[in-house]
A and B are shown apart, each in its own frame.
Chain A
Amino acid sequence: MASDLETADYPDKLRRVVVEPVTRIEGHGKVTLLLDDDNHVKQARLHITEFRGFEKFIQGRPYWELPVVVQHLCGICPVSHHLAASKAIDMLAGVSQVTPTADKIRRLAHYGQVMQSHALHFFYLSSPDLLFGHDDSIKHRNIVGVIEDEPEIAKQGILLRKFGQEVIRLTMGKRIHGACAVPGGMNKSLTIGERDYFLEEMPQVLASAQSAVELIKRLYNQAFDYHQSFAALETNSVSLTRSNGALELYDGGLRARDSVGKTIFDHVDYQTYSDYLQEEVKSWSYMKFPFISSLGKDDGWYRVGPLARINNCDLISTPLAEAQRQEFIKLGEGQPARATLAYHWARLIELLHCVEVLNELLHDNDILGSDLVVKGEMQQEGIGVIEAPRGTLLHHYRINQEGLVEKAKLMVPTTNNNQAMNESIRQVAINYLDGRELTEPLLNQVEVAIRAYDPCLSCATHAMGKMPLEVSLLDSNGKLIDRREK
């Protein structure tokens, strides 16, 4: 159930505190708090202050352009958008199954992407809070502080991210905004030289990934009670899983579980996602609010991303990550972990899993193959779903007989986490800010809660045509004469 801090009864009579911009996240957002005279929080909202119009301006474009065009939504996880769109345009091209080489090169790119994104988020963006505390000096609480005080940790982060970026470069052609997927397959595989280059680095990368999980466990357990309770939420979780319930990032069925781990739906073919998931538009946000249809708007909101995925899966297929998952699930004492800061722990288990999967793929000779593309007959509708670093990502396109896009819908992870992020900042507002004089370290806790989700705000704003428009007419002294809202 959503908290009652979404909308205050008499907002005009309240004092407004704005945290802008929210730092160390992707994209631009702000948090507004409304407080009464005694500093009691009456309203807390996360706003996204930028807008993307991709769903609109790709209308009329040819379908085979989509993976390359749509990935420009984001500079952090373009591979995820590229591959989600690729799965959708495979369908549009009438291809239900790509070749083993194409499938495994796509997986290489994807696991490299998730790995580098997780390393970026943990080491560059969030580790300062966890290493130094949310109340550390703002001048020191950043990646430069990490490099100065914990150079070995910083080097690990750089090494892990670099490896993932290199995987992307040699599969996609470029580290950012490359092009590898084509309708029905891929445009390249790996050479033996490229594969050996990665295998040479693998032992060190695997060791660093293991160290990263040990690091987050140590940090989490140092202030266990705080980390367990901070912005903790009872929520539903949505993710892809394999048919045996294992963690799956590239392709699988949709699974939803509630806050105590009871299954809401399972092994759902994502082609039928609209029977299970819906979105609500609220007047105060460019970001939509998705929910599980069977539970309704108030109770159906959910979390996606590393925490939801590790909570949702029954096992992990790679041994090192599975051993870490076994330890992680103790956090929930028989139920899914609720701690928002457990996202960091889950994220680094996934990072380790990504490295293990990359290692498996690099030992598979299919990645050196030359059978890259399958042809089919053009279809009118295509849906692609993938687990992006931040959670479940959906691309849905409809095209006309000439192959031009008529309708596009993108449900991105940060949108899926919208209500949960809002609820988390409200938890922080109630537990840590309410009735207190607000200081920078206190307000940073709001950001710490948001940061745990690793939101990518630039991808997430899709409430096209619902944008509130406000025009104020001021006289030469700045006095308000008239105001109109649309």
Chain B
Amino acid sequence: MSFILDGKNIPFKEGDTIMDAALNADTYIPHLCHDPEFVPHGSCRVCLVSCNGRYVSACTQPAVDGSEVESNTEAVNSIRRELVAMLFAEGVHICPACEKSGSCKLQAVAYYVGLLTPRYEHFNPPGRLDASHPDMIIDFNRCILCELCVRASRDMDGKRVFSISGRGSEASLVINSESGKLGDSLFDVSDRAADICPVGALLPKHKGYEVPIGQRRYDITAIDGAAAREPVKKSGKSDD
């Protein structure tokens, strides 16, 4: 069985989603809340594709034999740009100062879809940090509600430290402890959830910026697997 993705034949097996099949074929479809380790969530909608003319989320849509899927087109990417722009507007994502910059999926996806400047007025929510844990810190304004930490803590760590409370624009990440603080929860730095955040919301304390600019994850390889810019040639000279 196979389908066509942006003109390329993608084989798949029974039960695969479009995302599963694309990832197995080393073909990138942008995504933020999806991770092959966990049950698909379908919440960020960044993996939106056009399947036989209908917009669906690739991480939850079962692949259909013979279907035509469009992903890396201007029509689809323009919708993704709007979605990503809204994430930037509702949180506080100051890439130039963020520890995750260069290794952040939100930033990398923004570059991929061509979002280089703000498109909406920022919400500028009041600062909310939880630094009560000795090893990890949460910056709630960077959380994109992907629920990867929720799923990792529940499904792999067996702790249910995180959850999402509220609905719609009121939704926010909450901590399962009497005080609501991470430091009073069962969370541990060795948990799978401690290393799953795709953005700079859940980070280790007392350090940051340890990987030099030019050597960070998406400095070297763009999020779609394409070679990113080469930071410094052997001679020390740059291209520019």
Contact = CB atoms under 8 A, between A and B. Distances in A.
Given A170-B236, A193-B235, A403-B206, A62 B137 contact: yes
Nearest to A173: B213
B234 A193 contact: yes
B232 interface: yes
Contacts of B208: 64-65, 68, 182
Interface in A132-176: 169-170, 172-174
Interface string B187-225: 000000000000000000111111111110000000000
Nearest to A170: B236
A454 to B, nearest CB: 25
Given A173-B212, A196-B236, A72 B129 contact: no
A371 to B, nearest CB: 14
B57 to A, nearest CB: 34
B131 A62 contact: yes
B70 interface: no
Contact of B131 (A169, A179, A403): A403
Nearest to A89: B206
Contacts of A174: 213
B196 to A, nearest CB: 20
B237 interface: yes
- The residue among B99, B208, B235 with the most chain A CB atoms within 10 A of its own CB is B208
A174 B97 CA distance: 13
B129 A182 contact: no
Interface residues of A, number: 33
Contacts of B212: 173, 179-180, 187-188
A403 B139 CA distance: 13
A60 interface: yes
A412 interface: no
A183 B209 CA distance: 10
Interface string A26-61: 000000000000000000000000000000000011
B67 interface: no
Contacts of A179: 209, 212-213
Contact of A68 (B127, B129, B209, B215): B209
Interface string A186-204: 0110010111111000000
Interface of A: 60-62, 64-65, 68-69, 72, 93, 169-170, 172-174, 177-180, 182-183, 187-188, 191, 193-198, 378, 402-404
Interface of B: 96-97, 99, 127, 129, 131-132, 137, 205-215, 232-238
26 contacts: A60-B127, A60-B129, A61-B127, A61-B129, A62-B131, A62-B205, A64-B99, A64-B205, A64-B206, A64-B208, A65-B97, A72-B96, A169-B238, A170-B232, A173-B214, A187-B212, A193-B236, A194-B232, A195-B236, A197-B235, A198-B236, A378-B206, A402-B132, A403-B131, A403-B205, A404-B131
7 tightest CB-CB pairs across the interface, nearest first? A173-B213, A197-B236, A402-B131, A194-B236, A188-B212, A179-B209, A69-B97
